[in-house]
């Protein structure tokens, strides 16, 4: 935990992610990444000089029309003294039943982001922390390069002027393997994804490709991040 907490603070400080005395929402899906992020942000809150406050946001897509059970996350938030907001939605029904999307991920992500942004504003938060990590950044770079013919990635910090909210990604210096180990070590209440497309996405394929390449090119993921920083791609060079 200390190692990834140090990396999280390094990312937050390098990119100015934590505004002074601001209220930050943490998007919590129930997966390992978002739960570890919640623990890290709660730990940072205790000593970081910015003096930020936290609220956890859970958006339930209600896949199959069935609400998810968040008792484990509710208990964790109570333990961490973090207010929790749960919003049930028809996202799963709209994407997979009404629209019958063959490639649902892009639309689902866009709709999920919009709802989360509104939830954050309704909770009085000026920033929204997302659980993307270093492997996510490398996979996004790879997908943009191979499928989009462009050198690009998501940004460490993104200000949405139409919403007046700032998106932050504090775990971008953490490897997925470190996050998985932390989730197991901390016995976090990780929820299995109920999404029908889970494990069959373009992102999953990109991550598998990069893992294969790393067998021949050790440190490839870290080198991709270094290249983003040196080239100042999408704000990574700040």
**Do 86 and 122 contact (CB within 8 A), yes or no?**
no
Q: How many domains does the chain have?
A: 1
Q: What is the pLDDT of residue 100?
A: 63
Q: What is the pLDDT of residue 98?
A: 66
Structural domain span for residue 56: 2-235
Other CB atoms within 10 Å distance of the CB of residue 63: 19
Q: What is the pLDDT of residue 72?
A: 97
Q: What is the pLDDT of residue 118?
A: 95
Q: Within 13 Å of residue 236, how many CA atoms lie on the same side as its CB?
A: 22
Instruction: Residue 197: give its domain's CATH number.
Output: 3.40.50.620
Each residue's pLDDT, cut to its tens digit, for the chain (238 residues) gives 889 999 999 999 999 999 899 999 999 999 999 999 999 999 999 999 999 999 999 999 888 788 989 999 999 999 999 999 999 988 777 877 766 666 777 778 888 899 999 999 999 999 999 999 999 999 999 999 999 899 999 999 999 999 999 999 999 999 999 999 999 999 999 998 877 777 668 888 999 999 999 999 999 999 999 999 999 999 999 7
Tokens of 191: 């929820």
Q: What is the pLDDT of residue 142?
A: 96
Q: What is the pLDDT of residue 102?
A: 67
Q: Within 13 Å of residue 85, how many CA atoms lie on the same side as its CB?
A: 21
Tokens of 232: 């100042």
Query: What is d(CA 58, CA 88) in angstroms, rounded to the nearest whole number?
Result: 9
Q: How far is CA 145 from CA 64, 156, 238, in A?
A: 35, 19, 22
Q: What is the pLDDT of residue 95?
A: 77
Query: What is the pTM for the complete model shown?
Result: 0.94
């Amino acid at each position: 935990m200390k190692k990834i907490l140090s990396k999280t603070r390094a990312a937050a400080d390098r990119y100015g992610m934590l505004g002074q005395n601001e209220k930050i929402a943490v998007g919590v899906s129930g997966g390992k990444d978002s739960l570890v992020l919640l623990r890290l942000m709660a730990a940072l809150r205790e000593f970081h000089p910015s003096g930020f406050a936290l609220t956890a946001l859970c958006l339930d897509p209600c896949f199959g029309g069935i609400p998810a059970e968040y008792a484990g996350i509710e208990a964790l938030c109570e333990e961490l003294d973090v207010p929790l907001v749960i919003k049930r939605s028809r996202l799963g029904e709209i994407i997979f039943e009404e629209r019958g999307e063959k490639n649902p991920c892009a639309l689902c992500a866009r709709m999920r982001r919009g709802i989360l942004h509104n939830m954050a504003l309704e909770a009085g938060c000026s920033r929204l922390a997302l659980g993307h990590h270093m492997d996510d950044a490398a996979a996004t770079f790879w997908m943009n390069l191979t499928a989009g013919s462009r050198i690009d990635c998501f940004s460490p910090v993104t200000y949405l002027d139409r919403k007046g909210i700032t998106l932050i990604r504090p775990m971008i210096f953490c490897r997925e393997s470190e996050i998985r180990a932390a989730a197991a070590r901390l016995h976090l209440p990780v929820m299995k994804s109920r999404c029908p497309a889970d494990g069959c996405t373009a992102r999953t394929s990109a991550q598998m490709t990069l893992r294969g390449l790393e067998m021949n090119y050790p440190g490839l993921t870290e080198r991709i991040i270094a290249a983003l920083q040196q080239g100042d791609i999408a704000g990574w060079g700040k």
